[in-house]
Structure 1
Amino acid sequence: MITWKEVARIAVLLFVSSLILIPLSATILGGFKSTGEMRVSPFGLPNEWNTEVYGQILADPNFWIYLWNSLVISLLTVMLTLILGSMAAYAFAQARFFGANFLYSYLLLGLMFPFAAAILPLFLTVRDLGILDTPWGVILPQVAFGLAFSIMFFRTFFAQMPAELFEAARVDGCGYIRFFFLFTLPLSTPILATIATFVFVQSWNNYLLPLIMLNDRDGYTWTLGAMDYRGEYAWEWNRTLAFVSATLAPAVVFFLAAQKYIVAGLTGGAVKG
């Protein structure tokens, strides 16, 4: 027998799901409609399924250039964040050294500052390093701002690993570095996939940083390239929505590939009270 608590839980889940699925479906269906139909029925099914807009976008070479630039930036951001974040968190969780707590707290201060507040000093730093208008001008700041989040989750996850495992490995002559690569990382698949998903989606959807750091159109990400599909004389929402729908695919695929690890990763990396 279904209780009222289960009914309430299902109702809440359906409501939360509708907040995501309704705008998502309206975005995808909007690419099949005309501009006039978009104004009359933005959430309904199209009267006539017009695939011309999607065809034009997929046949445009610039679309694939924007998609490739975003993919390269996002994947490199994920790789660097996972490598640096896991190594730093492993040191905080397993090694004992002077000032560890102070340094860890200092790194976590990055969670308190919004990204937009540091955009001016970031621009000046990237310019002085000579990587302005290059992918690294976007990748490195994203990695820097993603480290605090990743270190916090990694450290909690690593600290919960059995101490007996490391002691047994140390008896066999396995040091910290070897233990990290041979045991810690293979056992950390859930938290790796969880952090990789969050970092990838954040990097994929980033608009402000590429806008500031990239001037060459050949290096544009999809968030900047979306302006090419708004229309020449008036904003054609069907073209814009079709472009956004086409660029959602990599992020959705990345999420689906890692979804079975996300719940386990969030549970293992959660901060205990």
Structure 2
Amino acid sequence: MSTATAVITTAPADEQRPPRRTPREKLPWGNPLVYFVALVVIALLLVPVAYIILGGFRTNAQITTDPAGLPNPWNVENYLVVLGGDMFWRQVLNSAIAAIATTAGAVVLGLMASYVLARYRFKGRGALYALFAAGLMFPITVAITPLYIVIRNLGLMNSLPGVILPQIAFALPTTIIILVPFLRAIPDEIEEAAFIDGASRLGFFWRMVIPLAMPGVITTGILAFIGSWNSYLLPLFVLNNEAVFTLPLGVQAFSSQYSVDTARVLAFTSLSMIPALVFFSLFERRIVGGLTGAVKG
């Protein structure tokens, strides 16, 4: 008599369990709500700029009948009239001189001060650094009255040096705060190797420090340039002659002179802000990279 043996095979416990639902995968590009909010913010920032630029291509009749419409037909006469005037180019030159001088002074002085604060050890270094950092808490609006008295006593009223020197002073705290971490991050071994090769402290500064800190230097230079180009309050108190007006003051004077001609005022305003927008757009990555390096340092 033969007996049959039945072999019963049981599946593993993992195979008997029902398959679990995999968690919902996140979108590879992140949360759509963040992008929606970002697009709304960008639109709120760009719409006024676009309205001013397009308004310069319209006539006063078009602006009156349809304030939110597009130019129909496009009119370039407003821009040609502004570009053909001597006063506009004189104000562009004044703004360029003030911005370039402010940038050069802030970068050179800030780089030298940052080098001392970052690479030298002396008593009171922390207090001196804190003093420069405290300068960020005092905007120019707070100091405009005593600053006006100082500039008047120095005989710098109604001149570009009266605008340039205070702008350099107010740009130094930001420059130093950004550059000190860059210079501290330079390894001491590089400095020791340079001294062994016979380099002086000044030679090490010119040959090693400046090239290694160039991202921070470019960032601070861009910030100083844009800050000077858009400066309005200080030139308003210092400059009284239209011949030495910078572009922000020129926009105000032009708006008062041609208050009836809205289209021409919009054309002048758009031309005055386009250089700063283009400059910032070209070097925006440099600014972000420089600030990121300062935070890491």
Identify the TM-score tier after normalising by the shorter chain: over 0.9
Query: How far off is 1:198 after superposition?
Result: 1.3
Q: Which moved more, 1:143-152 or 1:179-188?
A: 179-188
1:16 aligns with 2:37: no
1:92 aligns with 2:117: yes
Residue 14 of structure 1 aligns with an amino acid whose one-letter code is: L
SS at match of 2:123: coil
Tell me the equivalent position of 1:213. Answer: 238
Q: Is the 8 A contact 2:232 2:249 kept in 1?
A: yes
Task: Name the CA distance, whole Å, in 1 between partners of 2:154 and 2:266.
Answer: 37
Residue 289 of structure 2 aligns with an amino acid whose one-letter code is: A
1:185 aligns with 2:210: yes
Gaps of 5+ in 1: none
Q: Is the 8 A contact 2:96 2:229 kept in 1?
A: yes
1:71 aligns with 2:88: no
Q: Is the 8 A contact 1:93 1:159 kept in 2?
A: yes
TM-score (norm 2): 0.85
After superposition, the Cα gap between the structure-2 partners of 1:254 and 1:167, relative to the gap in structure 1 and judged at 3 Å, is same
The superposition leaves residues 54-95 of structure 1 with CA deviations (integer Å, 9 ceiling, x where unpaired) of 110000010000110001001100000000011101110111
The residue correspondences of 1:185-264 to structure 2 (distance < 5 A) are 185-230=210-255, 232=257, 234-264=259-289
Tell me the equivalent position of 2:181. Answer: 156
Task: Name the CA distance, whole Å, in 2 between partners of 1:64 and 1:30.
Answer: 21
1:134 aligns with 2:155: no
Task: Name the CA distance, whole Å, in 1 between partners of 2:68 and 2:135.
Answer: 40
Q: Larger Cα Rg: Structure 1 or Structure 2?
A: 2
TM-score (norm 1): 0.92
Query: How far off is 1:43 after superposition?
Result: 4.0
Task: Name the CA distance, whole Å, in 1 between partners of 2:227 and 2:155.
Answer: 25
Query: How far off is 1:252 after superposition?
Result: 2.9
Task: Name the CA distance, whole Å, in 1 between partners of 2:46 and 2:241.
Answer: 35
Task: Name the CA distance, whole Å, in 1 between partners of 2:76 and 2:284.
Answer: 31
Gaps of 5+ in 2: 1-25
Residue 133 of structure 2 aligns with an amino acid whose one-letter code is: L
1:52 aligns with 2:77: yes
Residue 62 of structure 1 aligns with an amino acid whose one-letter code is: M
Query: How far off is 1:160 after superposition?
Result: 1.6
Q: Is the 8 A contact 1:33 1:50 kept in 2?
A: yes
Residue 201 of structure 1 aligns with an amino acid whose one-letter code is: I
Task: Say how many residue pairs are matched.
Answer: 272
Tell me the equivalent position of 1:166. Answer: 191
Task: Name the CA distance, whole Å, in 2 between partners of 1:184 and 1:144.
Answer: 23
Identity across the alignment (%): 39
The superposition leaves residues 16-56 of structure 1 with CA deviations (integer Å, 9 ceiling, x where unpaired) of 32122211111100101123433454443212111111110
Task: Name the CA distance, whole Å, in 2 between partners of 1:126 and 1:231.
Answer: 27
